[in-house]
Amino acid sequence: MDPRTSSRLDALTTAHLTDACLRAGVPVRCAPAGTRAVEPGSRVAGRVLPARHAGSVDVFLEALAGALPGDVLVVDNGGRLDEACVGDLVVQEAASAGLAGLVLWGLHRDTADIRAIGLPVFSLGALPTGPLELRDRPDDALDRAGSGAWSVGTSDVVVADDDGAVFLPADRLPELLTLAERIRDTERRQADRIRSGESLRDQLRMTEFVERRNSEPGLTFRAHLREIGGAVEE
């Protein structure tokens, strides 16, 4: 990912980006609720480097051999909550390979050591035990990774922060960044106006909306917001 794109992503939240997806008609693909940083306050953004875990660390080592600097290792362990799939050694290896971080559909362990390494890691939580069994490894284990309902690969970008993680199609990224920046800037102006004493109700012309809805029952608040340039819901 080029430095300019990385810089723009760093200035946006996952909330801005999901709202941009709604505006652009792009499916909103979030990692499962509960996906959180091992070190609160962490964030990461980069190209998806997929790996489907089958009970052995070898899949991660193979994935890292083909990694580009700034990639994010997205690990699919099927959302299992009975075993951890990544520990400190994999995280240290990923850091040494120049990755930007990891996003797991599963659990991690070695929390203290991972925090000491300093590489952003997002997971569903921690558990002391590692893999409990070896499973059949799918042929496409390095091509696609699941995260909840979604399947992602190297044609996707992942962004994660305190709200969770979202996956974006790389070929739509320039459009989504522009939309997200507009949404961010609009919301910041609205927040400033609230602090200055102008209520959000007045900014979004709620009285006008309610009156119009009485005569136009099909009018939605989102349609009203789009007409007046509000951001709140998307």
88 carries a ligand binding annotation: yes
Answer yes or no: is 87 a known binding residue. yes
Residue 117 shares a structural domain with residue 222: no
Q: Which domain holds residue 92?
A: 3-170
110 annotated to bind ligand: yes
Same domain, 18 and 96: yes
The answer to whether residues 154 and 195 belong to one domain is no
Q: Is 10 labelled a binding residue? A: no
Instruction: Return contacts of 132-136, CB within 8 angstroms, 24+ apart.
Output: 132/55, 132/82, 132/83, 133/55, 134/54, 134/55, 134/56, 135/54, 135/55, 136/54
Residue 233 lies in a domain: no
What pLDDT is recorded for position 230? 62
Query: Which of residues 146, 170, 194 is at a domain's end?
Result: 170
Same domain for 43 and 142, yes or no, is: yes
Q: Judge whether 158 is annotated as a binding position.
A: no
> Running DSSP on this structure, what letter comes out for residue 21?
H
Confidence of residue 232 (pLDDT cuts 50, 70, 90): low
pLDDT tens profile 3-58:
999 999 999 999 999 999 999 999 999 999 999 999 999 999 999 999 999 999 99
Q: Are residues 54 and 150 in the same domain?
A: yes
Structural domains counted in the chain: 2
Q: Domain check: are 49 and 117 in the same one? A: yes
> Would the annotation count 52 as a binding residue?
no
What is the distance between the alpha carbons of residues 154 and 174, in angstroms, rounded to a whole number? Answer: 17
- Tens digit of each residue's pLDDT (9 = 90 or more) over 100-110: 999 999 999 99
